Structure formats: structure tokens, C-alpha cells
A and B are shown apart, each in its own frame.
Chain A
Amino acid sequence: MLRAEIGLFLVMAFIAYFYFSAEKKHSLLHETFSALLVAVLIHLVLDGITVYTVNHLDTVPRLFNGIVHRLFISSMVLVIFLFYQYISILVAEETGKPRKLDLAGRIFLVGGILGSLLLPMEYTQTPIGNYSSGPYMLMCYAAVAFYLVLCACLMLENWQNIDKKKKSVIGAALLIEFTITSLQGYQHAWLVSCIGITLMTLSFYLTLENPDILRAELTEQKMSMLYLKSQVNPHFLYNTLDTIRIQAQLDGDKKVADLLMQLVDFFRLSVKVDRPIVDLDEEMELLEAYMELMCYRYPELECEYDIDPELGSAQVPNFILQPIVENSLLHGLKNKGYRGKVSIRAARTRDGDLEVCVRDTGSGFAEVRKSAIDRMLQNYAKEPPKLTGNSIGILNVQKRIKLLCGKKYGLWYTENPEGGVTAHILLPLEEEMQWKN
């Protein structure tokens, strides 16, 4: 019987090791999950100890047996409380509503622990194994029932506002716990409660708390902080630029006025990051403003567009083309003194996806660099969220495409036979897509 407890403990210890060594955002949700993992580990240890002591009633001192049993039941109440707390924070994050049921949850926690420490207990011996019983035992059933009801209330009240994936995870976890507790209640000697708790923790770990997701969250947060830092009141910026533009035009300098107009457009469009997904047309507008400015700075730079007009309203992740083109300019064409051409082509592939190609006539990759870039783009998920260096732009594009569109899509580079490289971006092509993750 003890084998199951040891096995489950090892599984949870393994998961805890992964979880604690992963870099993650500091948030109440993750801290609650960390606390939950610790509590589950302690609970499993106590479970293992009690399974042994309850079956050796004559050799183990009665007082010791009583203490570990009471601790075991209180740890179970605590674990179930933490599950409830985790789910309530998850729901609150999703809906933005305050957590109203928390007070009830905490009062019950105190009552439950006091009950399991103080209420009378006894032991029942059966041919298939012994178990502890008595009023104190009821506390863990009461805790499961009480917190499951609280969670169910949370779910029902916010049904419309919870993401589908989270809904199914919470639902599955509640169902598992309910089933296992019913089995435990049906046959006390089976001592299966630890399985339910482990499975419940596992289901959250695998879906919402695994290192991949944590890392993506962290990158997103760092990027947005970086963005906020650069956002020195954009209205001030482009209003001032606009004033300068008008002065230039009043002074008869049409060229400067036009350039400033492009710059204002570029800022205005790039500040619009509130939507993660935009029309291809909007993305092209930003790119054109950028290219026009670059072509003015480097007159021997040429730019060519070939966009299938039917694809104008295709939905694409925002801000993906400009970093790719910037990369082509800085790593390909710069080495040729900014002499050359960038061609941007968007077309429907045979499989009905959208492919955008950015082809340059630059110096191409050095042998080592090509394989380094390929490797980086292939292992995008394992790349640490670097915030400096040359490749952050394209790595970030790759990560966002994978995150928003799915693993099938993404970015890769090929070398052109006549020199230079082509960046290929493969995106799904659906007019009205459900972009909620």
C-alpha cells in the first residue's frame, strides 16, 4: 500500500523541482500554486506515514499515531483550501471581479483545521487494512464538499467570462476530486485520497502552470514593460512632430513636411499595440511608412511590394513584418552600403495559408550565422527571453506567431541563389478568426 504514496510523492517532487526552477512572473496565482505544491508534498509525506502507522497499531505509540493522523487530515483541509484559493484567483484574473467568497473559505479553513486537531478519533480494523475514523475524519469530507461547492459557484457565476480551456481544466479537476472522494467515502480502507489530490495538481500543472507557458508569460510581460518605458506620451511626440511638419510646409519645404508626415504615421501606427491581431493592410501601412523613411535616408535602397489585394483583410499578429524587414536591412543590406532591394510578397499558398516573403539582395548569411539562426528559430521555445542582441526582433516574431497562430506556423530563412536571403512567414488564413488563444 505504501508503494502508491511513495510513487506519487516522487512524481510531485519531480514536478515541484521543475516548477521552482522555471523562471516565472511574480503573481499571486503562481505564488498560490507554489504554496499548493509544498502543501501537497507535505500532505503526501504525512499520508505515507499514516498508512504505515495505522496498520501497525500495536508497535507504534498511540500518541504519535494520533498526532500524525490529525496533522494528515489538517494538511488535507489546507490542500483543498489552496485548490479553492487557486481556482478563485484564476477566475478573478479572468473576470477582473473581486474574490467575494474568500472570507468564507478562510473561516472554514480555520474551523476545519481546529476540528481535525481536536475532535475525537478512533481506529477501525478490517481484513483489508485499517483506517482512522470518528468525527475528526468528517472534516476532510466536509472540506472537499464545501470547497467544491464554492468552486462550482464561482464557475457558474462567471461561466460566460472564463476562457474555455480554463473552464475545462477546472471542471476536470473538480470532477476528479469528487470521484476520488466518493470512492474513499465508499470504502474507507482504500485510502485513495492522495490519488485525487495528485491528479488535481497534475491537471493544473500540465495545462496552466507548465514551464513553456510560464516563460511565454514572462516574455510578454518584459516586452510590455520595455514598450511602456519607450512610451513617452505618444500624443506629445506626434503632436510636436506635426507642428514641426506644418512649419516646414509653411516655409515651403515640402520634402521635409512629407518626411515628417511619414514619421508621424509610423509612430501613430506603432503605438497602436492594443490589439494583438490586425489586418494585413494595417501591417503593410506601418511597413510602408518605415520603408519610405529608410529609402529616403539611403537613396540607393529600393523597395517593391507584391501583395495580393484579396489578402488585405487577412488577420495577422501585429508588428511582425517591420522587425523582419529591419533585420534584412541591418544584417543583409547594410554590408552592401544599403545598396539593393527588398521585395515583400504576400500570397495564398496551395494549402490555403498565407505566406509573406521578405526577399533582400543583401550580403546573405555567413555560414555559421545561418545555422545559428536556424537553430534559434527552431528551438524558439527554449531560447531564454533575451532582451538585447540582434536576433531578439526575429525571435520575438517567431514566438508570437507560434503563440498566437499555432505551432504549424512561423518564420524561417532561405538563401537566394543570386545572393541575399528570403524570410518566409507562414500564417493561417481565416477571415474572422477566434483569436482568444
Chain B
Amino acid sequence: MEKLRVLLVDDEIMIREGFKRLFDWEGHGCQVVGEAADGMEALTKMDDLNPDIAIMDINIPIMNGLKVIQLSRIKHPDTAFVIVSGYDDFSYCREALRLQITDYILKPVNYEEFGTCIDNLKIALFQRKAPTQTNVPEERTITGITRYLQEHLAEDISLSVLAEEFHLSSQYISQLFKSEIGVNFLAYLTNIRMEKAKKLLLSTSLSISEVSERSGYGDYRVFTKVFKKSEGITPSQYRRDFWESGEKNL
């Protein structure tokens, strides 16, 4: 897989240095190709470098991060944007959702856990490239597998189940995830389950244990733990924050 090219945008040099040097970009198949310290510079660098990933602080001089994203969205539809913000405020999240931001992380950034975020980005980039129409005769194996996963994510699913379904070896499928998407199978499965859970939390009034079940977690305690690790807040907080910020904005 080609290395993903990363642009770092933050007005504090220390934060950029931290990102650059404390996270194992190489190990995650990425490369930092540029940095910017304000909104104007960020826009220019976006056009010059056309990065795959832009990591963006919201509160930056001249033009805020959300505005930069809004302006460069049209020219760079394939770039995945990650917002890093000290604003522990869900209203930004809503704005971010509207701008189709791939991920949102809060300061202080734990560089060891940043890998999960990169995995999510890779999955998002993969899903954006994947063809939307189904039943193409010469469909790629990985597309078939991911579609199967999407349809069966509520079930008890594992590499061996996939192996049986697709008449391939588990090792081969595992490698396929690594080479085609750049993440391991489990990270992919967790990602789509969390996406499903978030969608259910915001668009339905199902109880947490029902959401847990429909997202493939028989035990809602496990679900809560995984959710907390991935989103930073518990499922019930997630739902409540969303509605509360909605009420505030009305």
C-alpha cells in the first residue's frame, strides 16, 4: 500500500512537533509531508500538497480550522480531515459532522492511542473509494468481504467465519485487510460496529443494550467499554451530549 501523505495544522509548534515525533507514522503507513501554523498557510499547503490526511486544530489564527475545511472540501474531496481541538464542546462536533469530517479528537492527544484514529481514517478512505453498486461480476474480494461484514455485523463474526463463507484461508483474508485497507481485521470490524452504534444512538431511541446487540456486542458492558475507548465518552453520554447541544443551538 502507498504511504498516506499527512498535513499537520496547529498554531503551536510544540503540538506539531509532538505529532511529528511522538507518533510512529512509519509504522502506520503514513508520512508527514507538511505543516501549517495558520488558516491561510493551511489553505495554501492543501493546494500545494494535496494530502490524503489533514490534521487540523480548530482555533488557529487568520481563519479557523472549520473554515479551512469548508473552503478546501470542494477542491480536495478525497482528503480525510481530522479535527484536533481543546474545545470540549459537542457543538463543534455537529459542525464537523456537517463538513464530513472523518474523525474528531480532543486535546490532550495521547500519541499512543492516535493509531486508532489513523486506522479509522484508512477505513474511511477505503470506503470512499469502494464502488457503491453491488453485484458487479468482477468485484474485488475485499469489497465483497467488507460488504458481507456490513450486512452481518450484528452477528458473531470472525476470520474463520469469513474464511468459510468466501472459501479462502483466514491468513489470506487477514493479509488482504492489511494490504488493501492498511488496518487489521479486528480494527476494521470494531470501526464499522462503532459507526453503526453511533448511527443507532443518534437516530433511534433504542436502549443501550439494544444498540449494543444490534452492533454485534452481546454483552453491553463490553460494548460500553469499547465505545468509551473509541469515542472518549460512554454511549449514553454520547446520545445526551448530542441532544443537549442540539437544544442549545435551537
**Chain A's nearest CB lies how many Å from the CB of B219?**
10
A310 pairs with B221, CB closer than 8 A = yes
B108 pairs with A250, CB closer than 8 A = no
B86 pairs with A238, CB closer than 8 A = yes
Q: CA separation between A313 and B107, bound complex, in Å?
A: 24
A239 pairs with B224, CB closer than 8 A = no
**Chain A's nearest CB lies how many Å from the CB of B170?**
32
A238-B21 contact in complex given A246-B14, A313-B208, A313-B234, C-beta closer than 8 Å: no
List CB contacts (< 8 Å) of B201-250 with chain A.
208, 221, 224, 228, 234, 236-237
B14 pairs with A268, CB closer than 8 A = no
A288 close to chain B: CB less than 8 A: no
Which of A245, A250, A281 meets B234, CB within 8 Å?
A281
**Chain B's nearest CB lies how many Å from the CB of A234?**
10
Residue interface bits B3-27, CB-to-A below 8 A is 1, else 0: 0000000001011011001100000
B108 pairs with A242, CB closer than 8 A = yes
A279-B15 contact in complex given A310-B221, A312-B224, C-beta closer than 8 Å: no
A279 pairs with B17, CB closer than 8 A = no
Q: CA separation between A243 and B11, bound complex, in Å?
A: 12
Q: CA separation between A261 and B14, bound complex, in Å?
A: 15
Residue interface bits A352-363, CB-to-B below 8 A is 1, else 0: 000000000000
A207 close to chain B: CB less than 8 A: no
A282 close to chain B: CB less than 8 A: yes
A239 pairs with B107, CB closer than 8 A = yes
A382 close to chain B: CB less than 8 A: no
A242 pairs with B234, CB closer than 8 A = no
Q: CA separation between A204 and B221, bound complex, in Å?
A: 48
A221 close to chain B: CB less than 8 A: no
B48 close to chain A: CB less than 8 A: no
Q: CA separation between A268 and B224, bound complex, in Å?
A: 22
A397 close to chain B: CB less than 8 A: no
Across the interface, name the chain A residue whose C-beta is closest to B221.
A309
Q: CA separation between A265 and B109, bound complex, in Å?
A: 11
B15 pairs with A243, CB closer than 8 A = yes
A264 close to chain B: CB less than 8 A: yes
**Chain A's nearest CB lies how many Å from the CB of B35?**
15
The total number of A-B Cβ pairs within 8 Å is: 50
**Chain B's nearest CB lies how many Å from the CB of A87?**
27
B17 pairs with A246, CB closer than 8 A = yes
List CB contacts (< 8 Å) of A262-297 with chain B.
264-265, 268, 272, 279, 281-282
B148 close to chain A: CB less than 8 A: no
**Chain B's nearest CB lies how many Å from the CB of A307?**
11
Residues on the A chain within 8 Å of B234, using CB: 279, 281, 312-313
Residues on the B chain within 8 Å of A279, using CB: 234, 236-237
A235 close to chain B: CB less than 8 A: yes
A245 pairs with B237, CB closer than 8 A = no
B151 close to chain A: CB less than 8 A: no
List CB contacts (< 8 Å) of B76-97 with chain A.
86, 88
A124 close to chain B: CB less than 8 A: no
B110 close to chain A: CB less than 8 A: yes
A235 pairs with B86, CB closer than 8 A = yes
Interface centre among B86, B221, B228 (most CB of A within 10 A): B86
Residues on the A chain within 8 Å of B14, using CB: 243, 246-247
Q: CA separation between A264 and B109, bound complex, in Å?
A: 11
A133 close to chain B: CB less than 8 A: no
Q: CA separation between A265 and B232, bound complex, in Å?
A: 12
**Chain A's nearest CB lies how many Å from the CB of B112?**
10
**Chain A's nearest CB lies how many Å from the CB of B161?**
28
Across the interface, name the chain A residue whose C-beta is closest to B19.
A246
5 CB-based A-B contacts, threshold 8 Å: A238-B108, A250-B18, A272-B88, A312-B224, A313-B234
Give 9 closest A-B pairs by Cβ, nearest first.
Answer: A246-B18, A242-B108, A243-B14, A313-B236, A309-B221, A264-B108, A246-B14, A281-B234, A249-B22
17 new A-B pairs (CB below 8 Å) besides A239-B12, A250-B18?
A238-B108, A245-B108, A246-B17, A246-B18, A247-B14, A249-B18, A249-B22, A261-B110, A279-B234, A279-B237, A281-B237, A282-B237, A309-B224, A310-B221, A312-B224, A312-B234, A313-B234
